[in-house]
Amino acid sequence: MRRGPRAVGRGGIPALGGIPRARTPEAIHDPRLITQGPRLTRRRFVALGIAGAAALGGGGRAARAPTDLRVSLPLNAYERAFLGRDVVPPFEREHGARIELVGGSAEDVVREVRAGAPPPDLLAVDLELLGPLIGEGLVGEIDEAGGLPPGETVPGVLPALERGGRRYAVPLRLNVWVSFYNEVLLGRAGVTPPERWDDLPAVARALGGIAGGGGVALQGALNGPAGQSLTELIWAFGGDPLAPVDGGALAAGTFLRDLAPALAPLSREAKIDTTTAALASDRVAHAPNWAFVAADLLLRGGKREIAAYAGPAGPAGRARLISGTILTVPRRGDNRAKRELALAFAAYLCSRPIQEALAGRLAWTPMRRDAFAAAPEWQAGVATAAREALENGRALPPLRDRKALDGALDDAFRDIAFAGVPPRDALDRAAMRIRVVR
C-alpha cells in the first residue's frame, strides 16, 4: 500500500511508521530532495526513436489509437506530477492520444478487475503478483512486441516475467537488497564489511559490544523478510529455495544455525522499517535492506557514515532476490490499436532517456544497466551497490501463490535461527509446503 508524505521525527530522522511494506516501496516525493535531471525535450524524445513505436515495427504514427489510454501506475503526488509534466506529454503529442494515469494501489485495481470492472490498458503491479494474474488469465502475452524488454534490461529479472516460454510483462523499476554498514562503528571495532558469508560471524562478534549489544542483523520478521533472507542464503550456498532439501539448502541452514547466536536481537523482528530505524540510531552496524531506504538514511537522516555494498558472497557466489514493479497488458477484447499503443508506451517507459530521468529525478532503481549513472549524487554509492547486487541477482518464477512460499520460508528461517529447530527438519517441513504452490 502506498502512503502519503512521511513525517520527519526528531533529529531529522524520518518517522519510520509511514514506510510501506517491502514489495511496494514508496519513492522519494519531496521535490526539495531530488536532483534536477535532464528535461525530456522533443529533441531527446525524437532521438529515442519515436518513443518505442519503431520497436513495435510500425513506425511512429501507424500505431496511434483513436481513444485515450488508461494506465494504472501507483504513484505518489510528486511522482505523478513529474510524469504528468515531463514524461507523458511528448508521447501524447507523437501518438495523438491522451494518457490517463489511473491512481489507486495495484492490489485494489486487480481486485476490481477480478470483480468484473473494465481493466486499464496498461497495468503496473508488484513482480510477485504476476503469477496469479497469469494463472487467472487476466493478462496477455507480449511476445509479439519487438524490443520488449530492451537488450539492456538487467538479465536476472527476465525469468520472473515468463511462464511456459511466454513473456507476460516487462520491468518498470527494480528493487533489491544491499548491505548497509556504518563505517565509523566498523572502524571502531577494527573490521571491514565482510565479503563472504564465512566472514560474517567474526564481524558480528567484533561488533557485538560496539553497536547497542548487537552489531549485525539479518531480516527475520514474518510476511516475507525472513523468507527472503533464507532464499538469498540458500542461493549463496548453491541450493534451491523452491526445493530446499538439497545439499546447498542444508549447508545454508546449518550456517544460519551457527550464525544466529551472534546476530543482533532485533533480527527476530527486523524488516524494512525496523532495520532502517536501527541503522539510523546506531543499534545495528551492518544489515541488508532495500536500496531505496538510502533516502531515509543518507538524505533525510543525514547518516553520512553509512555506506552500502552488494553484500557478502557464499560458496556459490553472491545472490540477491530481485523484486520491483512490472508492466503488463490486461486481456480486454480485440482492440489491437489500443494494445499496440499500450505496448508502445511500455517501450517508452523502458527506454534509456526515460529510465535515466526516473533515476535522476525520482531516485528509482532502473531496470536498465545503462541508466544507473543518472542517479543523483547523494545516491551514487548506493546505486553502484544496487547495480552490482542486481547483476548477481535472481528473480523467482511467477508462482501462483507467492505468499504461501514466503510463509514456508519465513517459518523455516525463524525455526532455525530463533527456535532451535534442526535445519534439516525445518527445511523438510518447508519443502512439503512449497510443493503445492509451484
Percent of the chain with pLDDT over 90: 77
Q: What is the pLDDT of residues 386-420, one digit of tens each?
A: 999 999 999 999 999 999 999 999 999 999 999 99
Instruction: Give the distance, in angstroms, between the CA of residue 262 and the centroid of all CA atoms in the same chain.
Output: 28
Residue 83 pLDDT: 98
Residue 17 pLDDT: 35
If pLDDT is split at 50, 70 and 90, which confidence band does 144 have? low
Q: Please determine, for residue 16, whether its predicted confidence score (pLDDT) is greater than 60.
A: no
What are the structural domains, with CATH classification, of the chain? 34-175+323-377 (3.40.190.10), 177-321+399-434 (3.40.190.10)
Residue 147 pLDDT: 78
Q: Please determine, for residue 118, whether its predicted confidence score (pLDDT) is greater than 70.
A: yes
The mean pLDDT value for 320-336 works out to: 91
| pTM for this prediction | 0.85
**Measured distance CA(148)–CA(308) in Å, rounded:** 31
Residue 334 pLDDT: 67
**Measured distance CA(24)–CA(383) in Å, rounded:** 19
Residue 213 pLDDT: 54
If pLDDT is split at 50, 70 and 90, which confidence band does 273 have? very high
Q: Please determine, for residue 381, whether its predicted confidence score (pLDDT) is greater than 60.
A: yes
Residue 148 pLDDT: 87
Residue 59 pLDDT: 42
Please give the DSSP secondary-structure letter assigned to residue 162. E
Q: How many CB atoms lie within 10 A of CB 143?
A: 12
Would you say 186 and 286 are in contact if contact means Cβ atoms under 8 Å apart? Answer: yes
Percent of the chain with pLDDT over 70: 82
Q: What is the pLDDT of residues 197-253, one digit of tens each?
A: 999 999 999 998 775 556 999 999 999 999 999 999 999 999 999 999 999 999 999
Would you say 273 and 204 are in contact if contact means Cβ atoms under 8 Å apart? Answer: no
Encoded amino acid at 35, one letter: T
Encoded amino acid at 350, one letter: C
Would you say 423 and 394 are in contact if contact means Cβ atoms under 8 Å apart? Answer: no
**Measured distance CA(5)–CA(76) in Å, rounded:** 8
Q: Please determine, for residue 44, whether its predicted confidence score (pLDDT) is greater than 60.
A: no
Would you say 437 and 242 are in contact if contact means Cβ atoms under 8 Å apart? Answer: no
The cell for 433 is 509446503
Q: What is the pLDDT of residues 123-138, one digit of tens each?
A: 999 999 999 999 999 9
Query: If DSSP codes are grouped into helix, strand and coil, which group holds residue 65?
Result: coil
How many residues are present in the chain? 438
Residue 146 pLDDT: 64
**Measured distance CA(383)–CA(294) in Å, rounded:** 9
Least confident of 1-10, 29-38, 78-87: 1-10
